[in-house]
Structure formats: C-alpha cells, structure tokens
Chains A and B, each alone.
Chain A
Amino acid sequence: MESLAKEQIIKDLLPQKFGKAGKIWVGILLAFCTLGVIAYILQLKNGLVVTAMRDYVSWGIYISNFVFFVAISLVGSLITAVLRLTQAKWSTPLTRIAEIIAVSAITFASIIIVVDMGRPDRFYNLFIHGRLQSPIVWDVIVITTYFFVSILLLYFPLLPDMAIMMQRKDQTGMLWLNKLYAYLGKFWKNTAAQIHISEKAINILSITIIPVAFAIHTVTSWLFATTYRPGWDSTNFGAYFISGAFLVGAGAVVVAMFVFRKAYHLENYIKDDHFDKMGKVLVLLALLYLYFNVNEFLVPAFKMKKSEEEHLMGLFTGEFAYVFWFAISTAMLIPIFILIQKKGRKPLPAFIAGLLVVIGSWFKRYLIVTPTLLHPFLPMHDVPESYKHYFPTWQEWAIAMGSLAGALLVVTFFARIFPIIPIQETITEMEGHEMSHKNV
C-alpha cells in the first residue's frame, strides 16, 4: 500500500513532456524573447536614443522592470525560508515553485540592469573601479549573494529527486536529461550522512537568505531614497519596498500554483487548502503594503510642500492619476476584497486575485520611477519639447516584455526538466504522516 503510494507520487510528479498547450506557450514566450533581443541589438547599435528616456526622465521602464524583478524574487525567501523556519509544513509543495521564481527573477533583474546601461561594454569597471560608497555597488554585492544563496536553496533539495529520476530513465524520456541529472547529482547516494549534511545546509541557507533578501530590496529602494527628489526622498522606502515585494512575489506564486496544477494535474498535491492559506497570506501582505502606501502618500500630502505638491497632485488627480488608482486598486484593494471572503480563496478567484496583484505591482513600480523624474527641483527648461514627456518606445516595450517572457521561459523549462513539486520531501512527509497515524 505504502510503496504503491510512493510509486504513485513519483509517477505524478516526474517532469512531463510539453503538451500542445505547452508548446504554444513556449513558442509565444520565445517570440517575445526574440523580439526583445532584436530591439536590444538595435539599442546597442544606435545607443539609448532608441528609448524614450531623455535628460529629465533618465530612468524609464527598464529600471521599473528591474525593481519589479527584484521585488518578485523576494518570494523565494518568504516561502522557503520564513515559512520553513516557522514550520508551516503546508508550504512544502510550494517551495520549489517559489525558489525557481526567485532565481529566474533575480537573473533577469541583473540582465535588465545591464540593458539600461549606456556603456554595457564597460561593465567590468564595476569590479576594477568599484567604490563601496555607491548604493549601486551595494546592490551588485547583495544581488550576487542572493543569486547564489537562491541557487543553492534550489539545488540541495533537488539532489534526492535527481537520484529518483536517474532510477527511472525510461520514464523521463530524453537521454540528455539523464546526462544532466548525472552531471548535477551523481554523488548523491541518499545516505544518512548526506541527508544530515543537506538538511543542515538548507537550514543555514534558510536563515542566511532572510537578511540577504531584505538587503536586496532595501538597497534597491535606496537607489531612489538616497537622492533628494520629491517622491523618493523618504525614510519609509525600505519597508515600503519590502512589503510590496513580498506581496507581488506571493501573488506570482499563487498564479504559478494555479497554472502548474492545471497543466500537470497536481490537484492531489496543490490542494484547495493551499490556495486558501496563500489567499490569507496575500490579504495580510496587501494590507501591510497598503499601510506603507498610506504612510508614503498621506503624510507628505498633508503638508503639501511645494516640491512634493506637483508630484503628488500628478499622481492623485493629474496625468498619472489613471495609472495610480489602477495600480492601487489592482495591486491591493480588489485582491483584498476578493481574498477576504472564503469563496474568494478557491483556486480560480485566488488565481485572478494573484494575477491582479502582479499586474498592478508592475505599474506601481513604473509610478515609483518615472513621475518623480518629471518633477525636478528646477523646472524643465532649455531642452527640446520631447524631453519633457515620457512614453516608452516599442524598443523599450519589446525589451521589457522580452525580459518578462524570458523569466517565464526559465520557469517553464525548469518545470520541464525537474519536478516542480519536491518528490522526496512529499514522500517523506507522507510517510511521516502515516507513521504518526499508526502510532496513534
């Protein structure tokens, strides 16, 4: 009985070949990526002039996309570390989803920041001339650290699963996959000593990743908060960014849970209960983010300092009002309204709420970056008319969307190659569960 269950779990969770929908999905993503690469080649050739950025709006959707990626990657630490350390066992099937989202997002955060550079050919200057006083260098250091810690947190729990997959060469299909598993995990013999070391390592990493995760997004917020500009000059920024990051990351996990469950028929593993619990987490995080938003906007709006006034009014009732209220309602208000009801935490409505959170959060990042730059201390003057507005060009959209597609592609391919739900951990938990039942 028990071994059958075990076999069933393995059979259910082994990576599967792409179906028709999967192939179409990959095709669409590849098309977006290709378009992005073409746009980037044009940008390399002609310079950043192909973007709509100019001297006043010197940072555009590349930077807001960067902030978005860094934000979403924080979920790796939330699900794998915070929930693991607080012994919320229900989160086990979600850990790998969260971790691959984290790795993929942080990779594309690094890529998009290079895309934004005027001289990507001089990237190495960061290493030969880097100065520790610049927040950019702090960002390089913490993002690199976060990347490697996340990779390890993804890799260690994969080792026992790769051993399982190597035993089932016939089921995994392709030869090169088995070679890959062998290359990555042949040394894993599932001995007690190895399991012990692995568990210990995962525990250490889970603790390490929390301060590193806080650091990546706090430092990212400091890229803005260390300047004088209205809208950025805020002591609230670190906490505001972190709370928003956990929110968008959790939203992305809910979306991914729904999609994987549907695509791979994982109803027995990602249960309705998971959506219920993640829905509650999302409500909590959305309320938290709402709280920081109130702080961020209401306090300066009460004073209406001259330098802040133009910026704030632009958001509340001016040229950015539609985007602003759209972002506030889709990232926070509507998801809270949906998920606060028990019915709203069923898979489909939770998925919709998660999707709204992710979309609203992307626009929220845009609002953090651009409107501030359009309200400098000295009025915009002595520049061509086109310098006084910003709307991204097709090249910028193509690159930004291409990077989002790229991140999704990494997640998609990962799920094709590795089990998206940890097999060994699921078996162990099942066995533990049965053991405790027998003892009772």
Chain B
Amino acid sequence: MKTNDTSRREFISATLLAGLAVTGCSSGKNPFEPDAATIETVKPSGEMIKLLSVDGEVIEVDKAFLKPVPSLPQVSNELARQGIPGKKFVMVIDLSRCKSLKKCQSACNHMHSIHPGQNWIKVYPQHEAEHTAPYWQPTTCMHCDEPPCVKVCPVDATFKRQDGIVLIDSDRCIGCRFCMAACPYSTRVFNWEDLDLPKEIADKPYSCETSVPQKKGTVGKCDFCPDMARKGELPHCVSACPNGVFMFGDMNEDVVTNGSETFRFSDLVRDKAGYRLMEDLGTKPSVYYLPPVNRNFPFENKEEKEETKKS
C-alpha cells in the first residue's frame, strides 16, 4: 500500500499533465482491463479524496469513483510527429540542488537503453572564471524553439512538435550527423555500433516518443519522455532525482513540478532569476536554469579528485 504522500505526489503530477488522476487501485482484478459494467455499479466507499480539476479548482471525489488510467498504446509515428495539442512543455533545472548524484543520468540511460558510455543527460562541473564559484550543471536536450538541429536536417528525421518537443525518427535518419555539428549544446549522440540490446527491446518497432530501440548509424538524444507525458507522468530524470533538481511542466498551464513540489512556472523563474543557456545564440531553449545560490550541498568534484589521484 502506498503512503499518502506518494499517492498525493503522483496524483498532482498526473492531474497537471494530463488531467487524469492515478491513485492506488484497491480491487484485485486487472486494473488495465476496461470494464464498462463496473463503472455503473461502483458503490461509494465514503472515503473522499481532494482533487485539483483541470480548471484549477479543488474538488472532492469518492475514492471508489477513481479508476486507474489504462496503459496507453504507443502512438503512431505520424501522431508522434504532431505532438500533444495544447501543451508547451518546459523544464526548470535548479542548480542550487544538484550534487551530481547522476541518478537522472542512470535512470535515463536505463529507460532508453542507451549505449554504455554515452549519456543523453550530462552533468558538467562548471567553473566559468577564476574567481567564480563552481557548480554542477545537468544538461538535457534544450528542446529549442528555434532548433538549429531541425533546421539543418536534410530528411526531416529530427522535427519540432506543436508541444515544443524536438524528437528524432530513427527509422528515417540517414546518419549524416549535421545535427550534431549544428547543436551548440553538444546534446546529441550517435550510435556508432550495433547496440547489444535484449531481444524484447531490440524487436520493438521504433517509437519517436520512447526513442527505443536506438538504431545503429542514427542519432539519439534526450526526448523529454513524451510517452510519459501522455500517461500523465514525469520524465524519468525528474522522478529519479532525489533532490528535486528537475521540474517539468506545461508552460500553458504555467506549472512545473518535480513530483513533490509544484510551482507556478512564471513566478519561479522570475523570483529565482531563471535563465537559459547561450541566450545570445537565439535558439530559445525550453529548459530554464535557476542559479546556484543558497545551495543545498557544497561543490565536491569527486571525478576530478580521482583523476588527480591517478596521475
């Protein structure tokens, strides 16, 4: 049985993202089998649950009326190209909370079956100048509104959707790597060799939204996990981070959440002086950074220490 806290966390993110609630299901039968008859015959349990409606109002619903969202089938790649209507996904990365645990990275690598050694999420030890403070800077794909990679792709294999997400169709990519040269954030990786994937993953048809399975000779990168968004869940990096560094949400709803805390996006970015990387290039990223002030952790570069030990 889940604790109140986690079910609340899940349900908030779920409501925010898809307007559908997910809570624990009490009955023993398969929750993913749609059964119209049961909906009619459900008896109120008397246990009321507060919900945030899509209009932003708090409503109370009997727990018995809630049902789990069935696992949605993967959308076709034509639909994946269009994106989710009415959404404009954004991410806020709070640098004051990052201590380079890299849980985001390992969750991402695992969920996307990325080639060992390569990473879609990188955590840079940034140190801009001699007298400035060092800090950790995780980077995802910036999902730019003026994406240089999309501009240069000769075959429309990488594309920008109406919800702001930039994805790759690995079934179309010709592997010219022009997008990698064009991306100023070095976010794209290339599958130089055959990936040693388990058969059940390798045999799946490629989906632009899950970016799985990665294919030899094509480019891959962070996809903002739109398959999770469709289910009303957060990207893997967001839910994997124990320090709540990543906040994900919808700019149209003006809300971002890391799963346990939820913020009004515009307030957060204004109050904490959020900024984007390489603003001067005019790429208009969808990822905002909050500066590393009032930090939760001191900056300790273990990698560097290890390197100096070796040498």
Contact = CB atoms under 8 A, between A and B. Distances in A.
B178 A381 contact: no
B193 A49 contact: yes
Interface residues of B, number: 43
B190 interface: yes
B192 A53 contact: yes
A99 interface: no
Interface centre among B118, B176, B184, B191 (most CB of A within 10 A): B176
Contacts of A125: 155, 157, 172, 174
Given A58-B181, A118-B175, A378-B139, A133 B151 contact: yes
Given A118-B173, A122-B172, A228-B184, A136 B193 contact: no
A47 B216 contact: yes
Contact of A119 (B123, B156, B173, B281): B173
B154 A228 contact: no
A143 to B, nearest CB: 13
B217 A119 contact: yes
B182 A126 contact: no
A54 interface: yes
B39 interface: no
A228 B172 contact: no
B178 A55 contact: no
Interface in A324-377: 373, 376-377
A137 B157 CA distance: 14
The range of chain A's interface size is: 35 or more
A382 B105 contact: yes
A379 B175 CA distance: 24
B170 to A, nearest CB: 9
Q: Decide if the interface of chain B is mainly helix, strand, loop or mixed.
A: loop
Contacts of B191: 47, 118
B119 A382 contact: yes
A237 B189 CA distance: 27
A58 B188 CA distance: 10
B65 interface: no
A226 interface: yes
B297 interface: no
What 7 A-B pairs have minimum CB-CB distances, sorted nearest first? A118-B175, A118-B217, A49-B193, A136-B154, A382-B122, A134-B154, A49-B192
Given A131-B154, A378-B122, 14 more contacts: A46-B194, A48-B190, A48-B217, A55-B118, A55-B188, A59-B177, A116-B176, A122-B173, A126-B154, A126-B155, A129-B156, A129-B172, A227-B152, A229-B181
